[in-house]
Amino acid sequence: MDNTKGKTIQIKDNTRRESIRKEQRKRKLIRVIFILFSLLYLPALWKWVFHGNIETSVLHSGIMEMKISAEGVFIRSEVPINAVREGIIIPAVNQGERVPNKYSFAKLVDKSSQQTLQRIESMERDIIRQTTDESPNILDGDPAFHEKVQNEVNKLTELALEKNIIPVDAVKSTLEQLLYQRNREIFKKQDDRLYLQKNKEELEKLQNSLTSDAINVQAEFSGLVVWDNIPYDEKFKSENINNLALEDLFADDNKQKEYQIQSIGVGDSFNVEKDQVFARLVNNEKSWFVCAVEHKNAEYVKPGNSILLKVEGIDTGIGCNVESIQPTGDKLKVIMSFNESVEKTIYLRYAKSELIFNNIQGIKVPVRSLTNFNVYDSTADIIVVRFDRASVKRVKVLARQDAFAIIEAVADTKETNPVRVFDVYVVNPQNISEGQVIE
């Protein structure tokens, strides 16, 4: 009985040892396979991870706008127009229209004339409605009118796509002016229908009676008329431009709402109180933009420098001349003047803008394509592809702005095959070495 138990224990021990040996052989085999895999496939895997599918592109020449962001205010040579008495203002020009010296651009009538005004407006609508209903093609022969309307509609479409609502009022004002001009053409045309001609004559009598005792509002100088009732702030007078504080140059939401201009023009009328501001007359010969910039940008806004001002909401740049810079708190106050496109800015007081101080032309590349920057001589490396191999080239960095740089070949070197336009270059040169095959 004891011998049987001993044999059983020995058999179990032999089975366990055999199982352990098999497990050991299996582990050895796995190690050998792993080592072979490492030797054969890891180099390929390394190349695939770090060098495979290398992004390349072609070098092209381009222009980079060197610019800085700035906020500020527009200052103009302007005078507020106040009502000399209570009454109703009848504009004779449209929003932003230029008028000569001594020109009567509005009439102030007594409030008792309100019913006469309403009668005139009602008759105008009736005459236009009857004329267009009975002769719908009366102005079809005026392609210029249709073209102008279509141009303004196209502008609205572009603004909608750009999600820019700032210039919408200007487009609205232009469309209303075109509509008013069309209406004037209808009134000027002689009509064979006797009842319509009598209505026009009655309308003319009402208009003459309205203006017989009106006060003419005349321009003190040649300029642009801006219809608004914004209280005039003395600190924004052109003679006080040097006294503007830093906080005067920035607008919050409430200030922006204050300076939203209404679309008013010929054919409109509105009530005024005595001494109320109802318009501004703006000298269109010269205006100023006063803004705040960082001290580090002082070298770009020196007095006498030319700056291209790009204002948010205005599609074209405005050429400016830097008149002066003044330290104001932790920023610099920059005063710039301009005498072009003044009419585009008359509706603005506060504005966000970009000051473009230079345009640099050369080979334009992403900054991430450059390595080994030297801040002392403004040079860096770029990797180009020559005969399917990486070739490191030293280049001069002419300018950097945001994520792009302008480069050119380094001058006065013995390089016989420098970087040039239409070279293929490596967009992301990390882990790329000289002579490496670039597929």
pLDDT one-digit tens code per residue, 44-62 = 555 555 545 688 888 898 8
Counting every residue written for the chain, the total comes to: 439
Q: pTM of the entire structure?
A: 0.65
pLDDT grade, residue 223 (50/70/90)? very high
- Over 70: is that where the pLDDT of 361 sits? yes
Question: In the prediction, which pLDDT does 81 show?
Answer: 92
Residue 95: is its pLDDT beyond 90?
no
Average pLDDT over residues 189-214: 64
Beta bridge partners of 289: 74, 336
Q: Is 347 left (phi over 0), alpha (psi -120 to 50) or beta?
A: alpha
Look up the CATH superfamily of 285-361: Efflux pump adaptor protein, beta barrel domain (2.40.30.170)
CATH no. for 56-61+362-426: 2.40.420.20
Better-scored residue on pLDDT, 161 or 285:
285
Quick one: pLDDT band at residue 241, thresholds 50, 70, 90?
very high
Exposure b/e, 386-420, CB count within 10 A at least 16 = b: eeeebbbbbbbbebbeeeebbbbbbeeeeeeeebe
CB atoms within 10 A of CB 103: 16
Q: How far apart are CA 5 and CA 361, in angstroms?
A: 97
- Give the pLDDT of residue 334: 94
Q: 404 pLDDT exceeds 60?
A: yes
DSSP state of 88: E
Q: Does pLDDT of 431 surpass 70?
A: yes
Structure tokens at 236: 């924004």
Reported confidence tier of residue 155, pLDDT bands at 50, 70, 90: low
Q: How far is residue 395's CA from residue 423's CA, in Å, rounded to a whole number?
A: 13
Query: Mean pLDDT, the chain, as a whole number?
Result: 78
Exposed (0-12), middle (13-18) or buried (19+): which is 17, by Cβ within 10 Å? exposed
Q: How many CA atoms lie within 13 A of 378 on its CB side?
A: 11
Give the start-to-end residue ranges of the domains of the chain.
1-50, 56-61+362-426, 79-243+256-280, 285-361
